[in-house]
Structure formats: C-alpha cells, structure tokens
Amino acid sequence: MKKIYRRLLGLFSMVALGMAGATQAEPATTDGIGRPPAHALPTMETVRHLHDFQVVELRRYTTTHGGRARFASYFDTYFPEAFEQLGAMVFGQFLPRDQPDRFVWLRGYRDMQARPVVNAQFYYGPLWREHRLKVNALLPDSDDVLLLRPLRPDTGVVVLPAVDPVDEPNGAQGIVVAQIFAVKKGSETVLAAHAQAQFDGYRATGVHPAGILVTLDEANNFPQLPIRTDGPYLVWLGVVRDEATLHARLEPAMRAAAKTLLASGMLCAAPELLVMDPTPRSRLRWLPAADEAAP
C-alpha cells in the first residue's frame, strides 16, 4: 500500500510541475524581429461602433521652437481617450516632416450640434484645467483649422483601432500623407469629380486611402476655437507603408494629379502636400487591417 501511495504521489508531483511550467511560460509577443504576430494585430471588429463622424477638423498647430516633441508627448498621453469618452474622435496626430515646429491632428464629431457640446465639456472640464497651462505654453498659434466634412458618405476618415501598447511596442508605424487643394468657389462639385479619377490612381500596394474631405460651409458654433474661412478646400488623406512606396509610387502619382487639376483652372494655387510621421499613439497609421475600411 505504501508503494502504491508513493507512486501516486510521484505522479501527482510530475503533473503539478508540468502545469506550473505551462502557467509560467510567456506567450510569444513578437515574430522574432520586433513585430507582433499576425494574430495579435488589432482588427477592425473592435471599432465597428466608431463611425459616422460627419464633421472633421484638420488642426495645424505651431509649437515653440524645439517644443514639438514635448507637446506631442503630452497630447498622446492625455487627450485622445478624453475626446472619445465625450463622443468625439481623435483620428490621428502627426509630425510634418518639413515643418519641425508644426503639429497636425484630426478631430471628428458626429455632427455640428455635437461640436459645441463636446468642446465645452472638454475645455471647461477637469482634464484641460489641469494641463492647459503647460500645454498652451508650447503653442504660440493654434488657429490654423479647416472645418471639413466627408465628400461622400463612404469617404469619411477611417477610424482605426487604438495602438496596442503591448502588441505594438514600437508604436504607430507608416507615413501619413495629406494633399490639400484650394478650390475656386463654385467649382467644388466639378473639381471633386475630376479629382476622384486622380485619387483612384493613388491606390497601389502599400497605399491605404484614409478619407476624402471637403469644406463644411457652416458658421463656427464654438467661437472660442477659430476656424479658417478662406475655403473651399478638398483634402485627400492616405497612409503609406514605407519610404519606397512613398517615393516610387505615391509621390509621382500626386505630382501628375496636381498638374492635371491645376491645368483645369478650378484651383486657386498649386496643391499643398503634407508628408507626416504619426506620433506613437496615432490611430491613423500603417495597419494591415485598414484594408477592411479604406474608402
């Protein structure tokens, strides 16, 4: 009987040790070269409820010289989820490559009626009151704002899943590109039709369209935050996978489109091109799942 007891005790010990080893084993979090495994990447299923933002602000800030990195860190840390909790959306935030003292971000609201409600809750709320002094000290100018809407129901700015701090340890990747067209008043509809044919040519492996927007011709219903009134504008947004795709594919297509549309006589000036790096927590970034939502 004692022999049987000892054998059973040994067997239970082996099973227990095996279970402990399985519990302590760390799951693989990367593919060995710094990327998360495919199964760990965010999917669009998590953001199906975040859609239909009919009002978009393209906000371009001037930061103090050398202060952009500090401002971007504050922004990433404090503000995106605060707006989401209020029913708005921070689509993404970016650092323009050729403008070292500029910071760009995109904010969305469900409609114009929601805009003053959200802004009042945020700018008169506890989070902004706590951080506004140090943040505003880094912003000599924050008045360069375009008030926009989707060109069509299917061209709103793509809402991508939030950056996962565990499975995306390197933060947001890719390159965000905006092409901004100053349109002669009265030519918006015709120009947009011509531009759409050009935008279709931007689609290529390594390019994700992220939105096509036009000026929203509405009065500013939250005057504490100025908006530009020199429109109308047409804006194309996209995300590029890498430098090679940007320089070899997208930029040549954009130059050709700019030449064609400028020759139409419907633009006030040559289109403006913004090539930007997403901040570490920018939703709008290179993400394979974006194929599911590209306009």
153 forms bridges with which residues in the sheet?
none
Task: Select from 291, 267, 94, 131 the least CA-distant residue to 210.
Answer: 291
% pLDDT > 70, the chain: 84
> Angle CA(120)–CA(159)–CA(28) in degrees, nearest 5?
120
Largest CA distance in the chain: 100
What pLDDT was estimated at residue 40? 58
Helix or strand or coil: residue 251?
Answer: helix
What pLDDT was estimated at residue 18? 45
**Mean pLDDT on 163-183:** 96
User: Which of 67-71, 127-131, 161-165, 203-207 is predicted with the least confidence, judged by mean pLDDT?
Assistant: 203-207
- As a whole number of angstroms, the distance between CA 144 and CA 58 comes to 8
Rounded to the nearest 10 degrees, the angle between the axes of helix 126-136 and helix 114-123 is 80
Residue with tokens 């954009």: 254
Are 52 and 82 in contact by the 8 Å Cβ rule? The answer is no
Q: How far apart are the first and last CA of the chain?
A: 74
Helix or strand or coil: residue 100?
Answer: coil
Listed in sequence order, the residues at least 6 apart from 269 whose beta carbon sits closer than 8 Å to its beta carbon are: 182
- As a whole number of angstroms, the distance between CA 159 and CA 44 comes to 9
pLDDT in tens, 37-77: 555 567 888 888 888 899 999 999 999 999 999 999 999 99
What pLDDT was estimated at residue 38? 52
**Mean pLDDT on 231-240:** 97
Q: In the chain, where does DSSP find H-type helix?
A: 2-24, 68-78, 80-85, 114-123, 126-136, 188-200, 243-245, 251-263
What pLDDT was estimated at residue 24? 41
**Mean pLDDT on 283-287:** 96
Average pLDDT, the chain: 88
Topology of the domain comprising 39-292: Alpha-Beta Plaits (3.30.70)
pLDDT in tens, 142-170: 999 999 999 999 999 999 999 999 999 99
Listed in sequence order, the residues at least 6 apart from 267 whose beta carbon sits closer than 8 Å to its beta carbon are: 181, 182, 183, 184, 191, 261
- Please give the model's pTM, rounded to 2 decimal places: 0.85
Q: Is the pLDDT of residue 13 over 50?
A: no
Task: Select from 159, 179, 158 the least CA-distant residue to 276.
Answer: 179
- As a whole number of angstroms, the distance between CA 42 and CA 167 comes to 9
CA atoms within 13 A on the CB side of 74: 19
Domain residue spans of the chain: 39-292
Are 193 and 208 in contact by the 8 Å Cβ rule? The answer is no
